[in-house]
Amino acid sequence: MAEHSVFDEMWGDDDTLRAPYQNFHDWFDQEDPKRLRAKNREAEDLFRLTGITFNVYGRSEAEERLIPFDIIPRIISGAEWAKLSRGIEQRVRAINAFLHDIYHTQEIIKAGRIPQEMIAQNDAFLPQMIGVDAPGGVYTHIVGIDLVRTGPGEFFVLEDNARTPSGVSYMLENRETMLQMFPELFSTNRVQAVQQYPIDLRRSLAACAPKMTTSDPTVAVLTPGIYNSAYFEHAFLADQMGVELVEGHDLRVVDGRVAMRTTHGYKPIDVLYRRVDDDFLDPLNFNPESQLGVPGIMDVYRSGGITIANAPGTGISDDKAIYSYMPEIVEFYTGERPLLQNVPTWRCSEPDALAYVLDNLEDLVVKEVHGSGGYGMLIGPTATKKDIAAFRRKLKARPKNYIAQPTLSLSTVPIFSRTGLSPRHVDLRPFVLVSPDGIKITPGGLTRVALKKGSLVVNSSQGGGTKDTWVLEE
């Protein structure tokens, strides 16, 4: 991929400073590089002090690591954000409508817009959810939409995270760190606030309480425990919302309600924000070996005794094979053309698509349908001949397991490097809250940055970092 074809969010296509970065650039030019290097080290110390770490799996043993933080903000104009927000809201509405339909009358299949087998043979489809009405009609209470940018007005959705999207604690801590270290920047740039997210999350979850709730809803966060890679975030959000953080062994079904153990006996929960996967949620209904869930919670949920956020079975909407049908899904449920485009996608389950992918492996990105975290994927342009040969065998053996996409020229944003400012590729995960009261999108989100020169992989588990995302007031 030729570097000159890449859109730089600070310098544009023609090396002319873009308007959103003007104030920041003026400030940066006046700064002493030594002071900035000291601030960079200070930021690392702050993160270490706060204990923001994540676990890296897939190695001989899980290890705890600090996610690198870069002090150069990514800046988006108010007008750009307004346009993006409209597209995100449209997409999230469509995902909720799709989930309700798929577990009820399946009109989209009857209309021939999605093949029956895409649902029936999908591991993420939960038969236990058929005919179940999610409280308030909300299935995806918290959504993370991964976006990439390729030009001034060109954003694409890379994937939808509708199960248990993570990363919001980094968005909040990144902002907190920048406010602490560079307060002067926030007086010269009108940056929209993100700090209200935990309050918004609590309100949004409470608004989704079951009909039988009479008083102020009791909300709790269910974590798999301290060994989970996102445990810091679970504890952080429970603390920020002022609600209990619970594990499966703290909960039991009492008188048809899910209740948590307290010093005064068991107290019923109205809304459970779960960070445990479907399979481990209820050993009586799903994986009988699970020690992480609550026996019988699905029966309570089906009878309307608790709200589970996100609803069980939402994984069917962020499966990468279903992703390729999102343009049809958006049009079917909203009656509008999608405002945000998908990345062109080849479904390897289709013979013609598979033939094309096998012929062009060195130019494409190939992903597992259920994969995440940057694992189990092939990036053709940077892969070795050995990697490509191995993937060719995998594709021929299990074509249904894969989709392929072109290698996009992801936009770059400068990072603070030893030599000054250096461009690196980024993506963006905005966080969306859905309740019967409406859809709320936090202005900004998590910007992940590939810290290695030329790398397109931004995942923290693969050596990526994060930066603060500024959305300016219009």
Instruction: Give the DSSP per-residue string, 248-275.
Output: GGGEEEETTEEEEEETTEEEE-SEEEE-
Question: Does residue 351 sit in helix, strand or coil?
Answer: helix
**Domain locations in the chain as residue ranges:** 3-343+408-471, 344-407
> What mean pLDDT comes out for the span 105-121?
94
Q: Which has the higher per-residue pLDDT, 271 or 57?
A: 271
CA pair distance 23, 14, nearest whole angstrom: 19
pLDDT tens column, 49-75: 776 655 443 444 445 567 889 999 999
Q: Which has the higher per-residue pLDDT, 168 or 377?
A: 168
- CA 462, 467, 471, 472 torsion-angle sign: negative
User: 275-297: b or e for each residue (b if 16 or more CB lie within 10 Å)?
Assistant: bbbbbbbbbebbeeebebbbbbb
The two structure tokens encoding residue 72: 């150069």
> What mean pLDDT comes out for the span 377-381?
87
Q: Which of 144-148, 319-323, 434-438 comes out lowest in average pLDDT?
A: 319-323
**DSSP codes, 6-73:** SPBTTTBTTT---GGGHHHHHHHHHS-HHHHHHHHHHHHHHHHHHT-EEEE-SSSS-EEEEPPEEEEE
What is the pLDDT at residue 411?
95
Angle at 427 between CA 424 and CA 428, to 5 degrees: 135
What is the pLDDT at residue 61?
42
pLDDT tens column, 219-242: 999 999 998 888 989 999 999 999
Residue 78 per-residue DSSP state: H
- pLDDT band for position 373 (50/70/90)? low
Residues 6+ apart with CB under 8 A from 393: none
Question: Under a CB-based contact definition with an 8 Å cutoff, are residues 400 and 357 in contact?
Answer: no
What is the pLDDT at residue 380?
87
pLDDT > 60? residue 447: yes
What is the pLDDT at residue 272?
98
pLDDT > 50? residue 169: yes
pLDDT tens column, 238-261: 999 999 999 999 999 999 999 999
pLDDT tens column, 182-193: 999 999 999 999
What is the pLDDT at residue 57?
39
Q: Which of 51-65, 182-196, 283-297, 422-436 comes out lowest in average pLDDT?
A: 51-65
Question: Does residue 148 sit in helix, strand or coil?
Answer: strand
Work out the percent of the chain whose per-residue pLDDT is above 70: 94
Question: Under a CB-based contact definition with an 8 Å cutoff, are residues 132 and 122 in contact?
Answer: no
Helix residue ranges, H only, 248-402: 297-302, 320-323, 326-334, 351-359, 385-397
Asked if residue 40 has a cis previous peptide bond (ω within 30° of 0), the answer is no
Q: What is the mean pLDDT of the chain?
A: 91
pLDDT > 50? residue 113: yes
pLDDT > 50? residue 118: yes
What is the pLDDT at residue 190?
95
pLDDT > 80? residue 133: yes
CA pair distance 17, 56, nearest whole angstrom: 38
What is the pLDDT at residue 461?
65
Residue 236 per-residue DSSP state: H
User: 246-261: b or e for each residue (b if 16 or more CB lie within 10 Å)?
Assistant: bbbebbbbeeebbbbe
Of the candidates 129, 123, 83, which has an alpha carbon nearest to the alpha carbon of residue 103? 129
Residue 216 per-residue DSSP state: S
Q: Which of 93-107, 211-225, 244-258, 369-383 comes out lowest in average pLDDT?
A: 369-383
Work out the percent of the chain whose per-residue pLDDT is above 90: 75
CATH class of the domain defined by 344-407: alpha beta
> What mean pLDDT comes out for the span 404-424?
91
What is the pLDDT at residue 375?
62
pLDDT > 90? residue 48: no
- pLDDT band for position 407 (50/70/90)? confident
Strand partners, 428: 147, 447
In terms of phi and psi (left: phi > 0; alpha: psi -120 to 50; beta: otherwise), the region of 15 is: left
Q: Which residue has the tokens 């966060």?
A: 221
pLDDT > 60? residue 176: yes
**Burial (0-12, 13-18, 19+ Cβ within 10 Å), 56:** middle
What is the pLDDT at residue 460?
67
What is the pLDDT at residue 379?
87
pLDDT > 60? residue 4: no
Of the candidates 215, 232, 212, which has an alpha carbon nearest to the alpha carbon of residue 223? 232
pLDDT tens column, 304-352: 999 999 999 999 998 888 999 999 999 999 999 999 999 999 999 899 9
pTM recorded for the entire structure: 0.92
